[in-house]
Structure 1
Amino acid sequence: MAESHPQPFKIEVSKTKLEWINKRVKDALVIPDVQHAAGQEWEDGAPTSTIQDLVDYWKNDYDWQKVEARLNSTYKMFTVDIPEGDEVIKLHFVHHRSERAHAIPLLFAHGWPGNFTEVENLLGLTAPEDSTQQAFHIVAPSIPGFTFSSSPKAPGFSIGRIASVYHQLMLKLGYSQYLGQGGDWGSLILRSVALSYPDSCKAIHINMIVALPPKPLQHPLTLLWLVLRWLSPEEKKQLTRLRWFMTKESGYSQIQGTKPQTISYALLDSPVGMLAWIREKLEPVVTPGYVWDKETVITWTMLYLLSESSGHARIYKEAKATMNDEVLGKRISSKVAFGASAFPYDIGYVPLWWAKVSIAENIIFWKQHEKGGHFPAVECGELLKGDIWEFVGSLPQETRQTLQSKL
């Protein structure tokens, strides 16, 4: 029977599934790496020492039951059936309503290899310690095919269709006007939401800023500026980083974007394989010196294993086929306020002058940080919260009043 109304959800991993995972970890073969020069240990992927350390922790110290209990107590989770074309997605989502008057609905959108738990440091936005600060209702869905959201049954479930599912979710929750925040795939999903539903999605704030080159007929001077590389030192640094990532670190996206089913057989049948696949991509996208918590890395791995889906890889193929037409080839209209935070160790970046002609007409907030990377909600949550408040404070008063929920 279809769940037309949200139903409470608790994580309950079966004993059989957990025993299967633990046995795979116990019997895991962690192969030796070649010897690398100092500073080049990650040159060929996740080093044996890093993976062996995580596997030892998983075997001896990691306790899924305790983690499961903590997740269930931290997040108010639900599922609801969302029709999208010929599909019905049983969407998993976190929903924390604020008790404050005039709270604003905030749709938080994650990407890969993240998940809904990235929103943890933002949950305090429902009741800021400073009562004069804007409060928010927090909604954080899991992408279809990720963690506990069901998977599409047929090809063609593009970013635009995910955007439709998210928009329908907000309407089901009673939020006829809302704003969004997201990075990685979440930033592109929210851009699609803003493009398709500007009367409801009044504003979006993103990290990971990507764009096509300026169009030569519409914006010849901006394109010339880019071609001649008239860039500031900081712009050169971040664009060089983007080029490095696409050249040296994007092999995973080529694999997932061409044969997602094949790689998924390997990853979902091998907990340590999934662990290494995820851990490798977490390393180069944070501030140097940032230490990933072992329990967090293993929990993120567990959440992908529990999906029993190729959705984590399939999104790359579905998006590649339609991304330019659905998102990157369009500019968000002036009806939607746009803001962005640029973190120096993120992997997506274009300068403000480029974004103005390629991403959005109504850019009201743009902030360049000196630290932080691809997962600011995890790595530097206080900075991101500050940016969200500053972004909302930059909105016209009429827009803020429209967003402030009266439910």
Structure 2
Amino acid sequence: MTDNSQPKPFKIAVGEDTLDWINQRVQSARVIPDVQQPEGKEWADGIPSSVVSKLVEYWKASYDWRKVEAKLNATYEMFTLDIAEGDDVINLHFVHHRSDRPGAIPLLFAHGWPGNFTEVEKLLSLTAPEDPTQQAFHIVAPSIPGFVFSSAPKAPGFNVPKIGEVYHKLMLKLGYTKYIGQGGDWGSFILRSIALAHPESCVGIHLNMIMALPPSPLKNPVTLLWLVLRWFTPEEKKRLGRMQWWMSDESGYSRIQGTKPQTISIGLADSPVGMLAWIREKLEALITPGYKWDDEQVITWVMFYLVAGNSWHARIYKEAIPALRVQVLDKRISDKVAFGASCFPYDVGYVPVWWAKATIAKNVVLWKEHDKGGHFPSVECAEVLKADIWEFVASLSKDTQKILKGQAGAKL
């Protein structure tokens, strides 16, 4: 009998039948023509057919999943572990790179949609920084339940706090009773839920997407007055304007996935090129203008959602969003948990620091506003993000740093 109560080494090995089916669908794909858009408005109605056609041709002629699979297996130390949460048991897929450095700190990296665990790749060097005086980290990067190689929940109701519980149980199982977290997109909400539920263990979180409710008129009347009077700097107005633009012009996917996730998932899972168009369109709007996504990387991200073979990439929007206000946004993280933020101008979640202090966290130890970067900083500007993580840890109290550095962790 297999013991699934302990982490098991994992290697990616997508079945030939699945690959054959995907390749056949790609080879026979039909890309419909676009209307002639004015210059500068090519993406106004969604992804241009010319962009899709170019990617499809690359997929047909050059993309080699087996080579990608081998590279992924060589890059990441991956495991799976059964973790019970309520009536569900999730076979959780995760990356775990332990540092050999004395005093390394456990870091939980949480991804979102349309991302995946490979967003952590450029942060893996934190296990052994070139500068031996720099803080080292043990890196843990799970795949959200139902995403990529993590099994899907079997029933509705698997919301952000439940995902947070799975991640927290993983960290404890790995021997990390004290740890910090880093993440954006859904990962930012997952980490906030962990910080709210387990401040004794999750002693610090550093986020790169910040979203908040308006300040309370009873608890924060002055802050609310600033908000009502729109006392924002020009840069704050610009960043808040980008978030408003995203909500008004770019969030149709969220409404679809948040209302009829099964319907949209059947269509996307049955059409590799449909999934490609769905994901690639969002990637375009989430980065610094001019950033070039690598074709192989884009198709690999699409492959992750195809091989998952379930609806949870969409369903998380229905399970999580309706309760997010009560479960996360209405609550302020206690002063027991250090809070840090890296704000990038082309991200789509932002509030000024004074707003965050009133509504998100009591103990804001680091707040950085950068002039470059977007929604995927670990991909687009990893060195900047790494520097912020180091600065965040240096901002923690000496006692907290000492406790974190004492985490030996489990040997796998």
Normalization by structure 1: what TM-score? 0.99
Contact 1:256 1:316 in 2 (8 A): yes
Contact 1:126 1:137 in 2 (8 A): yes
Task: Kindly state the Cα deviation for residue 221 of structure 1 after the two structures are TM-superposed.
Answer: 1.3
Q: In structure 2, what is the equivalent of residue 127 of structure 1?
A: 128
SS in 2 for 1:366: strand
Matched ranges for 1:172-187 at <5 A = 172-187=173-188
Contact 2:107 2:138 in 1 (8 A): yes
CA distance in 2, matches of 1:70, 1:405: 33
Matched ranges for 1:288-303 at <5 A = 288-303=289-304
Task: Kindly state the Cα deviation for residue 204 of structure 1 after the two structures are TM-superposed.
Answer: 0.3
CA distance in 2, matches of 1:351, 1:2: 48
State the Cα deviation string for residues 341-395 of structure 1 (Å, max 9, x = none). 0000000000000000110000000000000000000000111000000100111
SS in 2 for 1:365: strand
Task: Kindly state the Cα deviation for residue 406 of structure 1 after the two structures are TM-superposed.
Answer: 4.3
1:249 corresponds to 2:214: no
Contact 2:180 2:204 in 1 (8 A): yes
The one-letter code matched in structure 2 to 1:265 is I
Q: In structure 2, what is the equivalent of residue 267 of structure 1?
A: 268
1:392 corresponds to 2:402: no
Q: In structure 2, what is the equivalent of residue 334 of structure 1?
A: 335
CA distance in 1, matches of 2:285, 2:228: 28
The one-letter code matched in structure 1 to 2:230 is R
CA distance in 2, matches of 1:170, 1:320: 25
Matched ranges for 1:1-400 at <5 A = 3-400=4-401
The one-letter code matched in structure 1 to 2:168 is H
Contact 1:105 1:405 in 2 (8 A): no
The one-letter code matched in structure 1 to 2:181 is G
Task: Kindly state the Cα deviation for residue 224 of structure 1 after the two structures are TM-superposed.
Answer: 1.2
Q: In structure 1, what is the equivalent of residue 402 of structure 2?
A: 401
CA distance in 2, matches of 1:68, 1:367: 36
CA distance in 2, matches of 1:216, 1:33: 49
Residues 1-10 or 281-290, more deviating? 1-10
The one-letter code matched in structure 2 to 1:320 is I
Task: Give unpaired runs (5+ residues) of structure 1.
Answer: none
CA distance in 1, matches of 2:377, 2:406: 26
State the Cα deviation string for residues 276-315 of structure 1 (Å, max 9, x = none). 0000000011111000000000000000001001010000
The one-letter code matched in structure 2 to 1:317 is K
Contact 2:158 2:319 in 1 (8 A): yes
CA distance in 2, matches of 1:324, 1:175: 29
Task: Kindly state the Cα deviation for residue 115 of structure 1 after the two structures are TM-superposed.
Answer: 0.1
Contact 1:338 1:360 in 2 (8 A): yes
Task: Kindly state the Cα deviation for residue 322 of structure 1 after the two structures are TM-superposed.
Answer: 1.1
Task: Kindly state the Cα deviation for residue 405 of structure 1 after the two structures are TM-superposed.
Answer: 3.4
Contact 2:109 2:183 in 1 (8 A): yes
Task: Give unpaired runs (5+ residues) of structure 2.
Answer: none
Residues 64-73 or 2-11, more deviating? 2-11
CA distance in 2, matches of 1:142, 1:326: 21
State the Cα deviation string for residues 116-142 of structure 1 (Å, max 9, x = none). 000000000000000000000000000
Q: Give aligned-pair identity as a percent.
A: 68
Contact 2:178 2:407 in 1 (8 A): no
SS in 1 for 2:131: coil
CA distance in 2, matches of 1:54, 1:237: 33
Task: Kindly state the Cα deviation for residue 159 of structure 1 after the two structures are TM-superposed.
Answer: 0.1
Task: Kindly state the Cα deviation for residue 261 of structure 1 after the two structures are TM-superposed.
Answer: 0.4
Task: Kindly state the Cα deviation for residue 325 of structure 1 after the two structures are TM-superposed.
Answer: 1.1
CA distance in 2, matches of 1:405, 1:20: 49
Task: Kindly state the Cα deviation for residue 216 of structure 1 after the two structures are TM-superposed.
Answer: 1.3
SS in 2 for 1:105: strand
CA distance in 1, matches of 2:393, 2:345: 23
Task: Kindly state the Cα deviation for residue 217 of structure 1 after the two structures are TM-superposed.
Answer: 1.3
CA distance in 2, matches of 1:5, 1:405: 22
Contact 1:175 1:405 in 2 (8 A): no
SS in 2 for 1:267: helix
SS in 2 for 1:257: helix
CA distance in 2, matches of 1:148, 1:321: 26
CA distance in 2, matches of 1:405, 1:105: 10
CA distance in 1, matches of 2:58, 2:92: 32
The one-letter code matched in structure 2 to 1:350 is V
Task: Kindly state the Cα deviation for residue 2 of structure 1 after the two structures are TM-superposed.
Answer: 5.5
SS in 1 for 2:259: coil
Residues 89 and 2 of structure 1: CA distance in aligned 2, closer, same or farther (over 3 Å): farther
Task: Kindly state the Cα deviation for residue 321 of structure 1 after the two structures are TM-superposed.
Answer: 2.1
Contact 2:258 2:318 in 1 (8 A): yes
